[in-house]
C-alpha cells in the first residue's frame, strides 16, 4: 500500500497500540492533522490549550496505564513548548513519544520561519531522538522510538519530521510492534546468592522501594519479600502505592519530607535493600547519614548503581524478574525487636493535630475515607504535593501521579486529563497550590471542551508555600516575592471556563462539596482556603542527616 508520510505515521501509531494523541496543530504538521481528521474513527486526538499541557497529559496517561503516551506539536515554539513536559517524563522514567513537525528538509539549518533544532535542544532530556530525512525510514523510526521508550529504564523519545516528509509517498505494510526483551545477563546465580546472604544475615533490614518497582510491575513480589523477612518498607515519592499504605510494615515516604519513622529507621537499620530507586539528594544526602547500614541495590539502569550512594552489593536487572529469582533464596525472619522499634517510631507525630480549622490533613483523610478505593491522584508541585504524600494512604500502584525528579509546577492539571481519559471509570483528582495551578490553569478549558470531569482541589494559601517555608526557615522570614496577593476568584474562574466552582472555608462544608464535585459530569474546581503559615512537617534541612528532623510536634 502506497501512502504519504502522514498516513504512515498515523497507521504506525495505531500498529503500536496508540488510541489517543494529545497535541496542538500548526503549519508544519498540517499534513499530519489532515491524516488525523481522516482517521478520527480509529484514533482519538485531544486538543490542548498549550503544547506543555499536551506533554503533561501524555505523561499522565502513561503513568496511569504503563503504556506509551504520545504528544504532537508543530515546529519552532510548538516544539520548544513541549520541552518541559519531555524533561518531566525523562526525570521520572516515563515512556513517552513526542512528535514534532519541522520546516521542509531544504530549509533545515537556514534559520527558516519557526525552525529550531529540537533534536539538539532535547538531546539531554530524551532517551533518544530522531529527525526523519527520508520517508522510507519513517515507519521503522517510529517503531524504534516506541521500542526505546519501553525498553530497559523507560523514558521519552522525540521524533522530528520535516513537513515535506509528511507529504511524500512510500510503501507501507502493517507490522507488529518490536518485542521488548528484558535483559537478564547480570542476574546471575552468584549475584543472587550474594544478595541473599546480606539479607539472611541482617537483623534490622529496611526495604527502600522506588519508582522502578511500579515500572516493572513488581508490587506483589515486593510485598511477598517484605512479609517473608518482616522488614519495614519505606518508599520514595515515585513509589507511593508500590506497597500498600495500610500495611503494618509500611512506614511512609523517606527523605527531606519523609516520616519520622522512615528517616529514623534508616539510621538504625543494619541493611538497606534499595529496589528500583536512585537515592536522590531529597532522600539520603550522604552515606554518612546511614553509616550503620550496609546497602544493597537492584536497578535496571547500571548508571544508577553507586552513583549517589556507594553500595556493598548490587544487581543490574529488571526488578520483578530479579526479586522472583531472589525470593526462594531468602530465609523467613521474625525481627520482633526491630518491628517493635518500628511501631514506636510510627507512633511519633511530625505535625500538630488541628480539629478546628481547614487543614491538609482533614482534606486527605476525607478523600481517603470517601473515595480511597477508587481514586487516582495527580498533583502539582509544592507543599500540597508533600502533604498528599504524607497524609493520603495510597493502596495501589499508579494511583499517585506527580512530578518528582524535575518538580514541575503546572504539571498536575494536564496529567489529570491524561489519567482520566486513560481510566474513565476512576475518580481523578488534581491536588494543586494556587501558585502551581495558575501556571497552566488554561488547561481547564481542555478538560471542559473534551468533557473530562476531573476534580481540581486548590490548597489556597495565597503564596508560593514551599518557597515561603524555606524563606521562613533559612532566610530569616524575608518573604521575597512569594506572597502572591493576586486576588483571583477561582470559583468565578472555573465558571468562566464552563466548569463548576466551590469554595470551602469551614470544615463542616467539606464533605458536601466533595460529594457534589465527584458526582459532577463537568470539571470542578474547589478553592480550599488554608492558612498562609501552614507548613509541611516533618522536614530535614538540605544536606542535613535524615534523622535531624524539624517537626511541629
**Active site positions, annotated:** 51, 113-114, 163, 466
Burial class (CB in 10 A: 0-12, 13-18, 19+), 366: middle
Phi-psi region of 279 (alpha: psi -120 to 50; beta: other; left: phi over 0): left
- Residue 103's nearest CA partner among 22, 20, 161, 180 is 161
Q: Which of 543, 474, 550 is CA-nearest to residue 289? A: 543
Distance CA(239)–CA(241), nearest Å, equals: 6
d(CA 368, CA 383): 19
Kindly give the pairing relationship between strand 44-47 and strand 69-73.
unpaired
**Contacts of residue 37, Cβ cutoff 8 Å, sequence gap at least 6:** none
CB 251 within 8 A of CB 232: yes
Please tell me what DSSP assigns to residue 238.
G
Tell which residue, 404, 405, 390, 368, has the closest CA to residue 253.
390
Q: Provide the β-strand partners of residue 160.
A: 100, 131
- Helices 5-15 and 30-38 cross at an angle (nearest 10°) of 50
> Using alpha carbons only, how large is the chain's radius of gyration in Å?
24
Task: Give the burial string for 132-170 (b: 16+ CB within 10 Å, else e).
Answer: beebeebbebbbbbbbbbbbebbbbbbbbbbbbbbebeb
Q: The cell 538531546 sits on which residue?
A: 123
**Grid cell listed for 44:** 482519538
* Angle, alpha carbons 102-107-112 (nearest 5°): 75
Strand pairing of 205-209 and 271-275? parallel
Cα distance between residue 236 and residue 259, in whole Å: 11
Among left, alpha and beta (phi > 0; psi -120 to 50; other), residue 114 is left
Distance CA 359, CA 368 (A): 15
- Report which secondary-structure segment, H or E, holds 21: strand 20-23
Amino acid at each position: 500500500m502506497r501512502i504519504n508520510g502522514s498516513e504512515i505515521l498515523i497507521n504506525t501509531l495505531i500498529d503500536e497500540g496508540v488510541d489517543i494523541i494529545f497535541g496542538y496543530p500548526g503549519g508544519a504538521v498540517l499534513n499530519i492533522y489532515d491524516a488525523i481528521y481522516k482517521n478520527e474513527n480509529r484514533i482519538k486526538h485531544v486538543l490542548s490549550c498549550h503544547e506543555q499541557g499536551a506533554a503533561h497529559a501524555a505523561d499522565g496517561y502513561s503513568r496511569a496505564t504503563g503504556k506509551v503516551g504520545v504528544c504532537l506539536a508543530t515546529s519552532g515554539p510548538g516544539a520548544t513548548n513541549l520541552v518541559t513536559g519531555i524533561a518531566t517524563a525523562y526525570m521520572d522514567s516515563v515512556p513517552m513519544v513526542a512528535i514534532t513537525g519541522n520546516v521542509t528538509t531544504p530549509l533545515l539549518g537556514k534559520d527558516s520561519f519557526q525552525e529550531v533544532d529540537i533534536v539538539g535542544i532535547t538531546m539531554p532530556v530524551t532517551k533518544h531522538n530522531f529527525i526523519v530525512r527520508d520517508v522510507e525510514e519513517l515507519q521503522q523510526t517510529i517503531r524504534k522510538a516506541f521500542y526505546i521508550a519501553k525498553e530497559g529504564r523507560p523514558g521519552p523519545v522525540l521524533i522530528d519530521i520535516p513537513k515535506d516528509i509528511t507529504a511524500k509517498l512510500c510503501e507501507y505494510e502493517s507490522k507488529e510492534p518490536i518485542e521488548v526483551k528484558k535483559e537478564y545477563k547480570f542476574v546471575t546465580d552468584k549475584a543472587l546468592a550474594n544478595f541473599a546472604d546480606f539479607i539472611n544475615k541482617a537483623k534490622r533490614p529496611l526495604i527502600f522501594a522506588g519508582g522502578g518497582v511500579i515500572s516493572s510491575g513488581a508490587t506483589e513480589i515486593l510485598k511477598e519479600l517484605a512479609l517473608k523477612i518482616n522488614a519495614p518498607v519505606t518508599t520514595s515519592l515515585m513509589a507511593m502505592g508500590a506497597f500498600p499504605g495500610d500495611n503494618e510494615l509500611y512506614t511512609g515516604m523517606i527523605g527531606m519530607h519523609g516520616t519520622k519513622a522512615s528517616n529514623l529507621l534508616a539510621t538504625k537499620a543494619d541493611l538497606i535493600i534499595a529496589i528500583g530507586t536512585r537515592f536522590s539528594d531529597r532522600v539520603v544526602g550522604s552515606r554518612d547519614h546511614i553509616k550503620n547500614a550496609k546497602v544493597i541495590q537492584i536497578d535496571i539502569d547500571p548508571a544508577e548503581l553507586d552513583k549517589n550512594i556507594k553500595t556493598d552489593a548490587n544487581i543490574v536487572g529488571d526488578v520483578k524478574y530479579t526479586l522472583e529469582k531472589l525470593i526462594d533464596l531468602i530465609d523467613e525472619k521474625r525481627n520482633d525487636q526491630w518491628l517493635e522499634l518500628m511501631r514506636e517510631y510510627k507512633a511519633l507525630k511530625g505535625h500538630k493535630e488541628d480539629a478546628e480549622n481547614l487543614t491538609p490533613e482533614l482534606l486527605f483523610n476525607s478523600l481517603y475515607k470517601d473515595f480511597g478505593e477508587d481514586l487516582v491522584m495527580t498533583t502539582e508541585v509544592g507543599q500540597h504535593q508533600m502533604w498528599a504524600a504524607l497524609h493520603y494512604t495510597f493502596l495501589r500502584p499508579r494511583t499517585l501521579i506527580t512530578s518528582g525528579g524535575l518538580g514541575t509546577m503546572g504539571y498536575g492539571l494536564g496529567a489529570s486529563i491524561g489519567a482520566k481519559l486513560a481510566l474513565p471509570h476512576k475518580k481523578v483528582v488534581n491536588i494543586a497550590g494556587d501558585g502551581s495551578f495558575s501556571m497552566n490553569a488554561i488547561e481547564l478549558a481542555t478538560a471542559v471542551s473534551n468533557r473530562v470531569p476531573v476534580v481540581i482541589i486548590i490548597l489556597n494559601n495565597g503564596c508560593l508555600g514551599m518557597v515561603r517555608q524555606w524563606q521562613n526557615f533559612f532566610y530569616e522570614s524575608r518573604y521575597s516575592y512569594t506572597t502572591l496577593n493576586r486576588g483571583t476568584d477561582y470559583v468565578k474562574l472555573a465558571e468562566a471556563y464552563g466548569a463548576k466552582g466551590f469554595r470551602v472555608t469551614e470544615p463542616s462544608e467539606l464533605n458536601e462539596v466533595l460529594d457534589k464535585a465527584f458526582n459532577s459530569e463537568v470539571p470542578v474546581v474547589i478553592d480550599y482556603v488554608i492558612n498562609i503559615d501552614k507548613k509541611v512537617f516533618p522536614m530535614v534541612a538540605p544536606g542535613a542527616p535524615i534523622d535531624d528532623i524539624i517537626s511541629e510536634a
